[in-house]
Amino acid sequence: MATETVSPACTGSSLLQPISEIINLPLDQVNFVVCQLFALLTAFWFRLYLHPSKTSPFVRHVVATLLGFYFALFCFGWYALHFLVQSGLTYGIMILTGVEHMHKYCLVVALGYLSFCQITRVYVFDYGMYSADFTGPMMVITQKITSLAFEIHDGKKLIFFKPDTECIYTQQKYNCNMRMPSLLEYFSYNCNFMGILAGPTSSYNDYIAFIEGTPCRRSKDHQTNGKTNGRHKQTDPSPNIEVVRKLATCFFSLMVFLSVCKVFPVERNIDDDFIATTPFYAQVVYLYLSMLTTRPKYYFVWTLADAINNAAGFGFNGYNSDGSPRWDLISNLRIMDIEFATSFKMFLDNWNIQTAHWLKRVCYERCPYNPTAATFILSAMWHGAYPGYYLTFLTGIVVTLAARAMRHNVRPYFLGSPSHKLLYDGITWAGTQIAICYTVVPFVLLSVGPSMKFYRSWYFSVHIGCVLLAVALPVKPRHLRLKEAPVFSHQDSTSTDGHYQQRCTHTETSTKDCRDCPTHY
């Protein structure tokens, strides 16, 4: 593969231009997919021949970093230098500033640099070009930079406070970092070949444990069928079956996207003839189908990225109750939980999971006032400069407040019998899917004009209904719910489906939808 490029449509290598013309796909997308497939093969080699038992962490860091930067150059050309600049600036901040405010400076600089690149790309170069652009990897690097800065800040805080202090959430305690990484470790964490193009984000501690071959997972006291998790000697399970399963999911998602997406274009939702001649119930059905067909491309990209990390040996998350290994430590989605979500929160908790963790740890858990609004605003800023993103996340605030009010006030009445609960789940599934589709339309349309046209065609009905529900149905403030929340035992913290859940207390937060706990909605 070569890295020279002169194409106005793609800043990366033009080596694969003939393939791009044959299959009629943009060159930048072809480069991205080919690099990811090459990264998958490299990941197997990395696990087998550069295993921690066979080589040093230094060699693994160097190889992972150099390969990552080469893939970045191949896909984005000289724009890949932004990855080094952003990482270098924030590393300097970590070295030169005090720990007390380092995390704030890193958040401002990393997010500011990302926003600058996004604004120039959108408004100077190629507005509406929804393709594999260089700011995508920068979004993941921004998450890693800020996560590490907060982890170091929390680590130093633990030195000055008691270990069991409530000033830090338990999840934050687990991710605490007591030392500054070396420059090589820092660039390896940010720019390794497994996650440079599509992520996902991971904890720095988890990444270093993977590089050094140190068994690491928070469920360290769980033992299953003689296998011990945590920082104890354990078998090194093969990820091959899981990688094959995820590749099959990728293939199916890609086929669905290529075959169905053009049948239900999102833009038809704002077509004048469609709005004028189609009954409203049919518009609702079409909205659901059109938004449903946009999701497989994300399933493809994120599942492939997860498979690459797993193939390299990264992502092991202990064992299920039946003794089978789990490879979901850094998984970014749970497709079935998304498609059958019965609440707005359940959908969001299973979509772009690592980003949700990042938002929770750097914003939601730390914001003293109105954390929901602050988290949605930060998410909008992180996603980019298109106005549609801000419309989506502003709408998301209203929908979240209404859904929370409904859940607290209405759901208890349906828990008396299985049939009532089934009815409730069916109704809330339909309501959740409509609310998600309604909220996300501007995210796809990007611009204000088309987005407002869609909302006008619906008479802003979801907005109005959500505002009325949020005002009419009382919900206790979050700090009061946290104080009143029951404390469950550690045995209750693992769900029956094998997904890890932390305890439902004010010091811990769930990564899945906790259906009966008032603290999690």
**What are the domain boundaries of the chain?**
17-214, 343-493+504-521
| CA 5 to each of CA 17, 23, 79, 271, 275: distance values in angstroms, whole numbers, following the listed order | 10, 20, 11, 39, 44
| HSE-up (13 A, CA, CB side) for residue 416 | 4
Task: Please give the Cα distance from 247 to 308 (Å, whole number).
Answer: 10
Report pLDDT for 214: 86
Task: Please give the Cα distance from 376 to 360 (Å, whole number).
Answer: 10
Q: Any residues with CB less than 8 A from the CB of 268 and at least 6 apart, and which?
A: 274, 286, 290
Number of helical (H) and strand (E) elements in the chain, helices listed first? 22, 2
Report pLDDT for 103: 93
319 by DSSP, 3-state: which?
Answer: strand
Q: Yes or no: say if 414 and 423 are a contact pair by the CB < 8 Å rule.
A: yes
**409 counts as catalytic:** no
Report pLDDT for 220: 45
Report pLDDT for 7: 43
Positions of E strands within 87-226: 223-224
Report pLDDT for 478: 61
Backbone angles phi and psi of 324, in degrees to 5: -80, 140
| HSE-up (13 A, CA, CB side) for residue 161 | 13
Q: How far apart are the first and last CA of the chain?
A: 49
Residue ranges of the alpha helices (H) in 351-411? 353-359, 371-383, 387-409
308 by Cβ neighbours in 10 Å (0-12 / 13-18 / 19+) ranks as: buried
Q: Yes or no: say if 135 and 76 are a contact pair by the CB < 8 Å rule.
A: no
**352 counts as catalytic:** yes
Per-residue pLDDT of the chain (521 residues; tens, 9 = 90+): 444 433 445 778 899 999 999 998 889 999 999 999 999 999 999 999 999 999 999 999 999 999 999 999 999 999 999 999 999 999 999 999 888 889 999 999 999 999 999 999 888 776 555 455 899 999 999 999 999 999 998 887 776 655 544 555 556 666 777 789 999 999 999 999 999 999 899 999 999 999 999 865 544 444 444 444 444 345 579 999 999 999 999 999 999 998 988 899 999 999 999 999 999 999 999 999 999 999 999 999 999 999 999 999 999 999 999 889 999 999 999 999 999 999 999 999 999 999 999 999 999 988 888 898 999 999 999 999 899 999 999 999 999 999 999 988 998 999 888 999 999 999 999 999 999 999 999 999 999 999 999 999 999 999 999 999 999 987 766 655 555 655 444 334 434 344 434 334 333 334 344 443 433 44
Task: Please give the Cα distance from 472 to 469 (Å, whole number).
Answer: 5
Instruction: From the candidates 383, 463, 499, 520, give the one annotated as an active-site residue.
Output: 383
Instruction: From the candidates 177, 229, 350, 352, give the one annotated as an active-site residue.
Output: 352
Task: Please give the Cα distance from 518 to 508 (Å, whole number).
Answer: 13
pTM for the full predicted model: 0.86
| CA 420 to each of CA 238, 411, 412, 433: distance values in angstroms, whole numbers, following the listed order | 44, 10, 10, 20
